Amino acid sequence: MSEECTRSYIDMITTFFCGKWVCGLCSEAVKEHTRHDTTITMEGALESHTALCKKFNKTTRVNPTLSLAGAMRDIARKSSQRRSSEDFRDRSKVERTMSCGPRSDVKIRRSSIQ
């Protein structure tokens, strides 16, 4: 892909992003990061995004399967932490989710063979 940019456009982008030339997709990610975290500076958001891109290029592009396994591990870890943070010890009795007895709304058909 190539993109033709005027000198004034390049100057505007590099001025906005602390002297760095940033592609359109990365610029949106950096802007979004600064919108969500008002304590971070533009330079901090750029450094954070650059680190994320470098990590992506070293791991995901090299071995996507390993990256998927790592992502699933992270999801499992977060889910486990969420479950362990809930306070199950305050419950004094075991709650039943289903009845152990037969259901009254189920009709049993008798076989015509006797």
pLDDT in tens, 52-111: 999 888 877 778 777 788 888 989 998 888 887 765 555 555 565 665 555 555 555 555
102 vs 27, higher pLDDT: 27
Supply the pLDDT for residue 45.
94
- SS3 at position 87: coil
Q: How far is CA 3 from CA 8, 9, 13, 90, 107, in A?
A: 14, 12, 14, 62, 71
- Tokens describing residue 102: 């037969």
Supply the pLDDT for residue 107.
54
Cα distance from N-terminal residue to C-terminal residue, the chain: 79
Q: Is the pLDDT confidence value at 27 over 90?
A: yes
Q: Residue type for 94, please?
A: V
Considering only the C-alpha atoms of the chain, give the largest distance between any 2 of them, rounded to a whole number of Å. 94
